[in-house]
Amino acid sequence: MDNRVRRWKEEYKPLPRHTHLPMNHFITYFDAVNSIGATEAGGNSRFPYTSEYREAIEWVKKWMREIGMSVQEDAIGNVYGKIKGIHTHKSLMLGSHIDTVPNGGMFDGLLGVLSALTAVESFIERNGMPKWSIEVAVFADEEGSRFNHGLLGSRAMIGEIDEEALLTYRDDEDTTLSEAMTADGLNPDGLKSAERDMDEFIGYLELHIEQGLVLETNKQQIGVVEGIAGPARETFTFIGSADHAGNTPMNMRQDALIGASELITSIEQLPAKYSDTAVATVGKITNSPNGTNVIAGKTTVTVDIRDIDRDARENLIDAIKERASSIAKTRGLRLETSNSIRVEPVHMNDEMTNMIEESTNELNLTYRRMPSGAGHDAMLVGKKIPTGMIFVPSKNGKSHTPEEWTSLTECLDGILVMERTIGKILSGYKES
């Protein structure tokens, strides 16, 4: 067993409310997937369309089949496990993703998928065939760690991809998405077929770690998510002149990296001017030619900008753009701007949110209603069908690092809420 998983398991003190859950399956698969792509730095790297990812998804499919699900994988790599209900023409969808950021943690995404499978297995065990079908979705390339875009699977499912552009995305090794998909045994020519008829779904429910400090700080067990802040990514490329570091006087330089750094530094102050909830981050830069004795000729920075308030976010983006162009102008640099991702903030479905809240109350768990600052597949799916999200606490608010931690008790409590909410959604659903 993975050492981290062993510690997670050993910390757990059994609680009567968890005894009906198939805890062994949950722990076994959590361990199996987290053993794949484990890094020396203590985290996990499972990037889309790699052999690590393939190995991990096969574990998930194995559990799906054990539960009695039929398993489908579409052209972009989304995997759906389906349990037939008494009525089969509509399904409730649950899900999340199992890819990670570089050296990420054990819980982001994976917990949502395995929670869904645990909750479904338990639900079927206790109630027999569900009234309506249930599907568990594992969405492809949520994080965008390899091709810098993200949410590919859920975007393809709702029919919002530009097929041609997508296939030309390149990773840091210059492999195109199309090549990576082909190498993984998928069919990049058939991407359109990944689109689903969203009328088939009653709704979508996703459990995720909070990735923030709010639940832990307020000593609450469950977050009932009311809305998701849509992320936007803007890319700024400063183009100057790659000259000799020795022979070019300081006043005759067009240094792209200095321009980029000025933008990065100024971005820290900007969000607070537009809203209390807005955030902006530069986490990635590429610099060329990136040599010790060469002035940078071309530097690209990608800015990630988020808010639950759409207008505030747009104003902030405009301000960042203005800042970038004024820096370029002052420094005699050329500026190229492009936006790679722009997702609208999404409100969760009120009825589903209420059902999650009721479930939490019935289980005597503490909770709060809250927004999600991070983007999730639920944000895409939620544009098309009624969607709800359950948060469980993140220790010290840490995420996207090996320190990511949610105790087994907290995970199982989240699964209880999910199981109960599934029951409410299925019994409450009436065809219109």
Binding residues for Zn ion, rule: CB under 5 A, are 108-109
> Which residue's CB is nearer to Zn ion, number 98 or number 134?
98
> Which residue's CB is nearer to Zn ion, number 96 or number 261?
96
> What single DSSP character describes residue 422?
H
- Residue recorded with tokens 């002052």: 330
Task: Tell me whether the omega of the peptide bond preceding residue 289 falls within 30 degrees of 0, making it cis.
Answer: yes
> Which residue's CB is nearer to Zn ion, number 327 or number 418?
418
Closest distance to Zn ion from the beta carbon of 355 (Å): 22
Closest distance to Zn ion from the beta carbon of 11 (Å): 23
Evaluate whether 380 touches 191 at the Cβ level (below 8 Å).
Answer: no
> Which residue's CB is nearer to Zn ion, number 109 or number 345?
109
Give, for 26, the enclosing helix (H) or strand (E). Answer: helix 23-34
> Which residue's CB is nearer to Zn ion, number 108 or number 141?
108
Closest distance to Zn ion from the beta carbon of 237 (Å): 28
> Which residue's CB is nearer to Zn ion, number 108 or number 419?
108
CA distances for 331 relative to 237, 252, 337, angstroms: 14, 10, 16
Give 132's contacts (C-beta < 8 A, 6+ positions apart): 85, 86, 87, 90, 91, 92, 202, 426, 429
- Closest residue to Zn ion, based on beta-carbon distance: 109
Q: DSSP assignment of 329-393, as one string?
A: HHHT-EEEEEEEEE---EEPPHHHHHHHHHHHHHTT--EEEEEE-S--HHHHHTTTS-EEEEEE-
Closest distance to Zn ion from the beta carbon of 142 (Å): 6
> Which residue's CB is nearer to Zn ion, number 138 or number 412?
138
Closest distance to Zn ion from the beta carbon of 264 (Å): 25
CA atoms within 13 A on the CB side of 79: 25
> Which residue's CB is nearer to Zn ion, number 145 or number 349?
145
Q: DSSP assignment of 189-251, as one string?
A: GGGGGG---GGGEEEEEEEEE--SSHHHHTT-SEEEEEEEPEEEEEEEEEE----BTTTS-GG
CA distances for 62 relative to 56, 69, 245, 289, angstroms: 10, 10, 57, 46
Nearest to 307 by CA among 254, 358, 374, 360: 374
Structure tokens at 228: 């998701």
> Which residue's CB is nearer to Zn ion, number 141 or number 255?
141
How far apart are the C-alpha atoms of 140 and 60, rounded to whole Å? Answer: 13
Q: Which residues lie across from 71 on neighbouring strands? A: 81
> Which residue's CB is nearer to Zn ion, number 101 or number 320?
101
Closest distance to Zn ion from the beta carbon of 431 (Å): 32
How far apart are the C-alpha atoms of 116 and 110, rounded to whole Å? Answer: 10
Closest distance to Zn ion from the beta carbon of 302 (Å): 19
Closest distance to Zn ion from the beta carbon of 293 (Å): 41
Closest distance to Zn ion from the beta carbon of 399 (Å): 8
Q: DSSP assignment of 95-127, as one string?
A: EE-----TTB-SSTTHHHHHHHHHHHHHHHHHH
How far apart are the C-alpha atoms of 412 and 17, rounded to whole Å? Answer: 9
Evaluate whether 48 touches 99 at the Cβ level (below 8 Å).
Answer: yes
Closest distance to Zn ion from the beta carbon of 373 (Å): 12
Closest distance to Zn ion from the beta carbon of 93 (Å): 16
> Which residue's CB is nearer to Zn ion, number 233 or number 298?
233
